[in-house]
Every structure is written in structure tokens, then in C-alpha cells.
Amino acid sequence: MKLGFLTACLPESDLTDIARWAANQGYEALEVAGWPAPDDRNHIKVDCFDEAENARVRRIFTETGLTLSSIAYYENNLHPEQGPQVNAHVMRCVDAAAALGCPTVGTFIGRDPGLPVRDNLKRAEDVFGPLVEYATARGVELVIENCVMKSWHPDGYPGNLAYSPELWEWMFTLGLKLNYDPSHLVALGIDPVAALRPYISNVAHVQAKDTQILPGAIDRHGFYGPISGEKGWYRFRVPGLGQVDWTRVIDTLYEGGYDGVVSVEHEDPVWSGSTERVRTGLGIAYRTLRHLVQG
């Protein structure tokens, strides 16, 4: 395995600077943000990917010796209005990944909040069938993060229909793979290791994020969280500052034969607010995981 991180946490930084810093810190891989402009999470310019951009990105990874593990574009592929534009950009990400020799593109299933789950699953089959076919023809796998995305639903229900093992089994039948993130399972009351063990052969990428349970908060809001603007009963942290047992998670991945990248996804509100604070958070994550993730 190799240890990396998702570049979306450093939107103000150039990919060259991110890669050099990552390599100097001992990181071995990057999961690179590929959102379309004007979104500043576009460290690979997927929406205007040409020979010059291809050469620029290849040069960065050649000079630093890092691995490009995935192009990241996590948006709602089932959005009732914007879905077709999201689908089209996923295909552009696939084209860029194929040109760069990158094995995966990461995205969400998403959801139309105006439809029940069963209708959404039928829509997803119609949407992702062509997307998987397009990616497979170019030697790229589509990986889906198991994030709940409650903010995509007006009542805070799951907005990304890939949050549980039941739904993983469904999406595997479409040819999709899992970008496994244990932090979201903690927030659903699911044991991350018990959920992972049967599905390791379908894991094509791993994101490392932690979840900190806030004492007493669930007694006020309940499992579904607040209906007001109050904070919920958990928050995401960098690995080592939450409830995830990283020794068990990484050991289970090794035992199951996973040999890909473990990519830190930094969404820690404590270690945010500036480039230096984000880098400090990435340093905490590195020190937590380095002795566990061995090449």
C-alpha cells in the first residue's frame, strides 16, 4: 500500500507546490481534485485537458516520484437539473485519467431528493450503465465514496445512495467500485471493519478520515441530527483524532489483499483556516498512519 492525500483541502495551492510538499513529508501518492472551473478544487484542469495539461501533470508526478491514485470529482450524478452536466464532467475526468495512466475516477451516486430511494436506484442504473461502459473502455474504474451527504436532502436524509453495505452490493452489480471511507460508517453506527471485510475485493481506493463523537450531543438531537443550525453530534477529524481504529482497518485491508492507496481526506475543522493549519493536520494524519501503511 501507499499513503497519500486528497488535494481538495488545499484549493489555494498549485499542484506543483502540493506535490513537492507531499513528497518532502514522505507521502507517496495524491488523489487530485478535478472539479470544473470556477471551482478552485481543480488541481487538474479536466475541463480544458489538452496535451499541455497532460504534459504538466505528468511532469509533476515524474519529478516528485508520487503516484496519481485517482481524479476526484464528488458531485450529485442524479441531481434533477444538474445531473447531465455532472455526468458529462465525470466522462471528462475519465478521459484525463486514461491519458495520465490514472486507474480510478472518484465520484458519488447522488440522489434526486424529490424521489423515493427505489426510483433513484432505477435512475442510477440508467445513468451509471453508460458511465461505467465509457470508463471501462478506457481502462479506468469509477469508485464511489460511501459518504452520506445529508446536506443534499432537505430533511437531512442520505443524499448519496452508497452509504451502506446493502447499497454497495447494489452498485457492484453496475460495475462500480468502492472508495472506502470508514469515517461515514462510524457516523451511521456501522462497525467499519465488519462492513469492510466481505467487500475488500470490490475496494479500488481508500480514503482515510476520522470521526469524533461529541459527548452528549446525540442525547439532544438524536441519530438524525439537529433541525436547526446547531452543530450535530459528530464531526470529521484527521486520522488519529477520532473513533476509527486505524490499526484494525489497515490490518483488515492487508489481510484481504488490498494493495492500493490510502488517501487522507482532510475535512478537519480544527486544522483548517490556512495552508499551514491544513498542512499541520496532514502531518498528524501522516504520523498516525505511516507506521501502519507499509509499501
**Structural domain count, the chain:** 1
Domain membership of residue 294 (yes or no) is no
pLDDT at 235: 95
Residue 268 lies in a domain: yes
| Residue 85: band (very low, low, confident or very high) from pLDDT cuts 50, 70, 90 | very high
Residue 228 has a pLDDT of 66
> Is the residue at 15 inside a domain?
yes
Report if residue 184 sits inside a domain.
yes
> Is 68 strand, coil or helix?
strand
The H-assigned helical ranges of the chain are: 15-25, 51-64, 83-100, 117-137, 165-172, 182-186, 192-196, 217-221, 246-255, 275-289
| Whole-number pLDDT of residue 213 | 93
**What is the span of the domain harbouring residue 257?**
2-289
Q: Which tops the pLDDT comparison, 177 or 156?
A: 177
Q: For residue range 282-291, list pLDDT tens digits in order.
A: 999 999 999 9
Domain membership flag for residue 295: no
Could you tell me the pTM of the whole model? 0.96
The band of 278, judged by pLDDT with boundaries at 50, 70 and 90, is: very high
> Is 34 within the bounds of a domain?
yes
Domain containing 198 — which CATH number?
3.20.20.150
Q: Quick check: is 86 in a domain? A: yes
Q: What is the mean pLDDT of the chain?
A: 96
pLDDT value for 172: 98
Q: Is 229 a residue whose pLDDT tops 80?
A: no
pLDDT of residue 230 exceeding 70: no
Q: Is the pLDDT assigned to residue 227 strictly greater than 80?
A: no
